Amino acid sequence: MTEIVYFSSSSGNTHRFAEKLGRPATRLPLHSHIDGVKQPTLKVDSPFVLVLPTYGGGSNSSAVPQQVKQFLNEQGNRSLIRGVVAAGNTNFGAAYCLAGDIVAYKCAVPLLYRFEVFGTPDDVSAVDDRLEEFWTAQ
């Protein structure tokens, strides 16, 4: 069972955060094409919480990574999302963790937590506690 689906850019910040949670997790591919060949979109078969970074300096049109949009455009994937955890940069001001707000709104699921860049140990602990409470209540 995949409990977390996450996207991380080549910086690896979100990847490191997801690893620190120590829960079953699946990473969305960074590239949709390998050696010029389009790769199939990841398909999940169990409920999950999405962990994602905010892109584009906080611009509404580019805040959600394209890979996440493609993943959620698959109806089967979209039907299984249960919540969102967002990474962001406070330098984005009001657009801090905007990708999480957008996905939570569009998928009608709760935004469970926001964290700065790659998160602190306190963020990891808080997200772990929230996920435990969240999955217990499901």
Question: Could you read off the pLDDT of 68-99 as tens digits, one per residue?
Answer: 999 999 999 999 999 999 999 998 888 899 99
pLDDT at 59: 64
Question: Could you read off the pLDDT of 99-112 as tens digits, one per residue?
Answer: 999 999 999 999 99
Question: Could you read off the pLDDT of 26-53 as tens digits, one per residue?
Answer: 999 988 777 888 888 899 999 999 999 9
CATH of domain 4-30+44-133: 3.40.50.360
pLDDT at 2: 64
* Antiparallel, parallel or unpaired: β 33-34 and 37-38: antiparallel
